Structure 1
Amino acid sequence: MISVMCVVQEGQISTEVQFALRAAISAFTQRAFAAAADIDWIVVPKGSGFTAAAPSTAMIASMHANRRLKSGERTALLRELGDICMEKTGLSPNEIVTSIRDPQSTESL
């Protein structure tokens, strides 16, 4: 499983768009990592999450990879994830934050 966290402002994403985005992210993790997505959908309540004294329109999509990624591959995957989020939500590139982290090493430094 690929752990995915999506953070959005309350009322920003309709239920229909949320389901479409979940499906697209699940297809992405299957394609990129050969693993299903375990999506934690976090809604920031109205009255919280401000940017420049206005309600935030930003969305965060963050996940943990199941293998180490080389820089070029990470860049391509981040671009694809961002494109998925923009396509499904209609948000601009300035409103979407994406992150893909490598698995944590259990070795001592």
Structure 2
Amino acid sequence: MRQVKGTFLDVDLDLHGSPSDIEQVVSVMAPSVVVMRHEGQDASLELAAQFSSAEIALQAFAELIQALPCDARSAWDRLEYRSANIGLRSGSQGRKLTGAISLEVIGTMFTSGL
């Protein structure tokens, strides 16, 4: 596999669950995120701050989730799915981008329920 250099853009956090749980999570996270989309059972969030790598952005999301107040954390835990999508830009079409996320960050993501 040929490795292609790419530029990290952002991490989107896509959420799906009951409208009340989505509303509770989004309202608590709102000061730290940009709400890209919020319609009923779905929301898509990006961190308001810019980060230099996917790993740092994922860690920031995990810390934000771990800091949720109890009610918002319960709503987070009830969501049907939570998906982190890493945005990359590459000048080469049809080639696979590769990168690494540390085991420490992956462990934090799992304990956060990402």
- For Structure 1 versus Structure 2, the TM-score category normalised by the shorter chain is 0.3 to 0.5
Identify the structure with bigger relative contact order (alpha carbons < 8 Å, sequence gap 6+): 2
TM-score (normalised: structure 2): 0.41
